[in-house]
Chain A
Amino acid sequence: MTTLNALAAISVAYVLFLFAVAFVAERAARRGRGGWLSAPIIYTLSLSIYCTAWTFYGAVGSAVRGGLEYLTIYLGPSLVLIGWWWILRKLVRIGRAQRITSVADLISSRYGKSNLLGIGVTILAVVGTTPYIALQLQSVTLSVEVFANPQVSDVADDRLTAFWVAAGLAVFTVIFGTRNLDANERHHGVVMAIAVEAIVKLAALLAVGGFVVWGLSGGVGATLARIDASELGLWEMNGGRWVGLTFLSAAALLCLPRMFQVMVVENDSDAQLRMAAWAFPLYLMLMSLFIVPIAVVGLEVLPKGANPDLFVLTVPLAHGQQGLALLSFLGGFSSATSMVIVAAIALSTMVSNHIVMPIWLRLRAGSASVSGDVRHVVLLSRRLSIAGVLFLGYAYYALSGGGEALSVIGLVAFTGVAQVLPAMLGGLFWRGATRMGALAGLSVGFALWLYTLYLPSFGQGTVLPMALFSEGPFGIGWLRPQALFGIDGLDPLMHAVFWSMTFNSVVFFLVSLISFPSPLERLQGAQFVNVQIGGGSARSWSGGLAQSEDLMVMSQRILGAPEAQALFLREARKQGISGHLPDPTPDFLEILERELSGSVGAATAHAMLGQIVAGQAVSVADLMAVADETAQMMEHSARLEEQRSELTRTARQLREANDKLTRLSAQKDAFLSQISHELRTPMTSIRAFSEILRDAEGLASVDRIKYASIIHDEAIRLTRLLDDLLDLSVLENGQVSLNLREGKLTDTLDRAVAAALADDGGLRLDIFRDPRSEAIWLNTDIDRLSQVFINLISNARKYCDAAVPRLQIRVGEAEGRTVIDFVDNGSGIAPEQQDLIFEKFARVSDQKAGGAGLGLAISRQIMTRLGGNLSYLPGQAGAAFRVTLPEARALAAQ
């Protein structure tokens, strides 16, 4: 009898052997000497992970319980591979072209890279696969138990075994499943190890079968006779269940995450698939060849009540065939481990890509710019996901207690993952399939599967209450989980398959019809449905599959709706078509490509058109060309834009400078002309009278004195003019230094009035003031302010044309600042001249006065320098000027 320790040693040795195989293969692939790893036979053998411990052990059990029904599990995949290999080919090509990494990725990519769908399928896959992993762990512990003394086995030991198996598998998977993160998610080491395991399990099953037929039964004929005699042949065949199970297993081949992993992700040529199309059904046939003989003989030679799921082990053991039993054990062990490893890789890829990474990226939004950083995180997340998946499997095993018959768990899982089928096939063959449709179909299918099969599979009354099964939820009979819509008496599995798949497909179809796909979905849909079959020339289009409407949608986005519509209409007319959509003839496509090139560049236009017309995947070379082109265009346009704005800026500056110069030049001319006039006029008098005094003899002394006085006055006038000019120049250049000091407004006004009225000149002016309001302290250049007041008072004195000239000086407040208004009772200043009077040399026409016309200009400059203001105040009785005092300097009197 093989001891448990020996068994453990053999298992460990076997696992180490697998490590070695995987390591060698991995190293060969890394050194570029792994060409043989892509051999179609290895690919075919790797597909054998379809045959898990469930098929290895469970098929015999199934045969005992359900007759030939177990064959359906082999029939489904065989039918798909032989009859529908073109579906697989399409799947594999899309997988390669789009660099698909998992089922979830496939669905998500097809429906506009929807992460929600990715998450949904991932959850479905995890929920559906966890029991399956538990099943493998269970089968290993059961088989170990067979070698131990069945009577003394206890649950704790089983759990320990399962735990170590799970841990060991986790280590193996982490080491070989997350070595690299290359663009193609291929694992040469793992695939090679699985191929080896495929041979081991086939050899084991064939050996046990050979032993049963030729060693126990005495040849083929005798075996057939025994089968005829046994009860197995009598069991009736349920047609509906056969069809259902065949369908389920066919769907499982396409949808199971681990099958997708080996079949699509690990695939690298059509040749691999061509061989698998005939070799894998052959493998399955060999696997199933001896199931019935083993079952029949097992029933005969073993005591009643022996677990038929373990006949493969117990029959050789019962006949003392220790070596054969060990081989059989290793076959079962291989089946379990290969399934668990690949499933863990597939699930961890999904969990990591669709759940962990999006969350991580969102949490660290913006800081994930270093690629090495991300790679590290991805690897870590994969490794943790692998450990998590295996732990889930172990936890499920430990909690469920492993009581259920193996094959039942398997079928429940099959039905779960089969929910992906409508979205997958619809996505491959129907352009109208939409994200909303896929989401709705999947949700409904998943929910029904949970309700009618998954939760009930824990047993009535465990998760769902007993009453639910007999009465329905809230007493609604037609909602009973195993008799929906009152259809009673159906096999629970078939019931669940029927309703979940029906609702899934119908909802998927209907929602797809009523929802509208996004542009990205359309593009992806076109790529998936029209995936390139065969070669085709690179630059010319054959428009067989092109959809004018898609072209229109794309063109509108690029060219703008009116232009695109006009182009399409024009081309449609040219083709003699009455509608808006021309046929996608090669000519039209050439024209369209040229048009699009004008907007987005040739490479981009070709790639975009290629995606829609030929369903071509964009190659890396295409993308590089697009990127180059885009970069060049962007650089070029950025440069142009920069130059353009610089030119605009320069032109504006030049124009402004020119305007300013012109204005300055005109001002200078006018100013010089004015100066000239103001200087020459007194000079003229001086020169004329000085010549008269010099030349005229016998001039009366009265006249002589008068003329000398004129010369004197004009000289003074000239001096004053020059003073004013210098003053104004200093003020305008801002070179004036202010002499700030404190003083009372009323004193300042007193002095100004006195100064303005000092020289009599025969002009009189009555001034009215309110001393109380003038009790304000100032802190400013008092002398300059006084100069302004003097100017205003003298102006009133000179220009007020009233019969009795009066000037009122009012102190008040406007907009929070102290203002002093000087209002006389003359006729005022005409509105059109009110702005003019502050200009240099401005003098209201028809008025004759001694000044040069600089007074107000100087006064305004002074007020500006002081931080206040001088303005004309319209709407008063006569001429009115407002002096606004500087804000901070006006302090209220105490």
Chain B
Amino acid sequence: MSGHVLLIEDEPNIIEAIGFILSRDGWRVDTHSNGVDAVDVVRAKAPDVVILDVMLPGRSGYDILRDLRNDPVTQTLPILMLTARGQSKDREMAERAGVSRFMTKPFSNAEVLDAVRALKAS
């Protein structure tokens, strides 16, 4: 299985790691590291799956998620959210905003890969 993933993340090492894992599995990976124009980038690139960090420069991942869910085009777009803030209220907030899948850093590579595959299949 393969497809198009947009990775929105600001930490260079993590971009490199996830990019490496997905590319090796055959995914085409686009990256973006700024929160401010993330929504526009999603619309422009129209990926199969979005991986979204919460703490981004310029704009919070939650706000970006809410905007995407309010847009009919991206309403059902599979979105995997990654965060380094591992409290339960963060998960609740993400689910209320309509996240497809929520994962806490650090993650295992297999886990991310399985999640992206499952999201693409749904």
A interface, CB within 8 angstroms of B: 672-673, 676-681, 683-689, 691-692, 695-696, 710, 714, 845-846, 848
Contacts and interface: CB of A to CB of B under 8 A. Distances in A.
Given A689-B17, A691-B110, A848-B57, 6 more contacts: A676-B85, A684-B14, A684-B107, A688-B13, A688-B107, A688-B109
Contacts of B84: 676-681, 684
Ranked nearest first, the 4 interchain pairs of A and B with the lowest CB-CB distance are A688-B17, A680-B84, A685-B13, A684-B106
B82 to A, nearest CB: 8
B115 interface: no
Given A685-B11, A687-B108, A845-B58, A676 B17 contact: no
A385 to B, nearest CB: 93
* Interface-centre pick from A676, A684, A714 (highest chain B CB count, 10 A): A684
* Interface-centre pick from A687, A688, A696 (highest chain B CB count, 10 A): A688
A847 to B, nearest CB: 8
B33 to A, nearest CB: 9
Interface stretch (B18-26, B39-47, B61-69, B72-80): B18-26
A846 B87 contact: no
B85 A677 contact: yes
B108 A680 contact: no
B21 A688 contact: yes
Contacts of B105: 680-681, 683-684
A369 to B, nearest CB: 71
B55 A692 contact: no
Contacts of A683: 105-106
A665 to B, nearest CB: 14
Contact of B21 (A679, A680, A685, A692): A692
B14 A688 contact: yes
9 contacts: A683-B106, A685-B13, A687-B107, A688-B17, A688-B107, A689-B17, A692-B17, A692-B20, A710-B13
Contacts, number: 69
B17 A681 contact: no
Nearest to B105: A684
Contact of B106 (A687, A710, A845): A687
B87 A676 contact: yes
Interface string B96-111: 0000000011111110
A691 B58 contact: no
Contacts of B108: 687, 691
B78 to A, nearest CB: 21
A622 to B, nearest CB: 73
B113 to A, nearest CB: 11
Contact of A677 (B14, B24, B55, B110): B55
A479 to B, nearest CB: 107
Interface of B: 10-11, 13-14, 16-18, 20-21, 24, 55, 57-58, 84-87, 104-110
B36 to A, nearest CB: 9
A850 to B, nearest CB: 12
Contacts of A679: 84
A677 B87 CA distance: 10
A647 to B, nearest CB: 37
Contacts of A695: 109
Contacts of B11: 681, 684-685
A685 B109 CA distance: 11
B86 A845 contact: no
A421 B110 CA distance: 123
A680 B55 CA distance: 12
Contacts of B14: 681, 684-685, 688
A299 to B, nearest CB: 132
A848 B11 CA distance: 9
Contacts of A676: 84-87
B31 to A, nearest CB: 15
A870 B18 CA distance: 42
Contacts of B24: 696
* Interface-centre pick from B55, B84, B87 (highest chain A CB count, 10 A): B84
Contacts of B86: 676, 680
A696 B21 CA distance: 9
A756 to B, nearest CB: 24
Contacts of A685: 11, 13-14, 17
B85 A845 contact: no
B106 A688 contact: yes
A263 to B, nearest CB: 99
Contacts of B87: 672-673, 676
A683 B11 CA distance: 12
A702 to B, nearest CB: 13
Nearest to A714: B13
Contact of A680 (B10, B58, B106): B106
Nearest to A713: B13
A468 to B, nearest CB: 111
B57 A845 contact: yes
A672 B90 CA distance: 13
Nearest to A682: B13
B99 to A, nearest CB: 18
Nearest to A706: B16
Nearest to A680: B84
Contacts of A696: 20, 24
Contacts of A672: 87
Nearest to A843: B57
Contacts of B104: 680
A680 B106 CA distance: 6
A677 B108 CA distance: 17
A785 B36 CA distance: 39
Nearest to B111: A691
A843 to B, nearest CB: 10
Contacts of A681: 11, 14, 84, 105
A46 B106 CA distance: 119
A792 to B, nearest CB: 24
A845 B60 CA distance: 12
A715 B104 CA distance: 19
B3 to A, nearest CB: 21
Nearest to A687: B106
Nearest to B104: A680
Nearest to A696: B24
A840 to B, nearest CB: 15
A686 B106 contact: yes
A729 to B, nearest CB: 21
A845 B10 CA distance: 12
* Interface-centre pick from A676, A678, A686, A848 (highest chain B CB count, 10 A): A676
A426 to B, nearest CB: 91
B58 A689 contact: no
Contacts of A710: 13, 16
A450 B86 CA distance: 109
A692 B18 CA distance: 10
Contacts of A692: 17, 20-21, 109
A688 B57 contact: no
A687 B14 CA distance: 10
Contacts of A846: 57-58
A673 B57 CA distance: 17
A683 B104 CA distance: 11
A315 B104 CA distance: 142
Nearest to B87: A673
Contacts of B85: 673, 676-677, 680
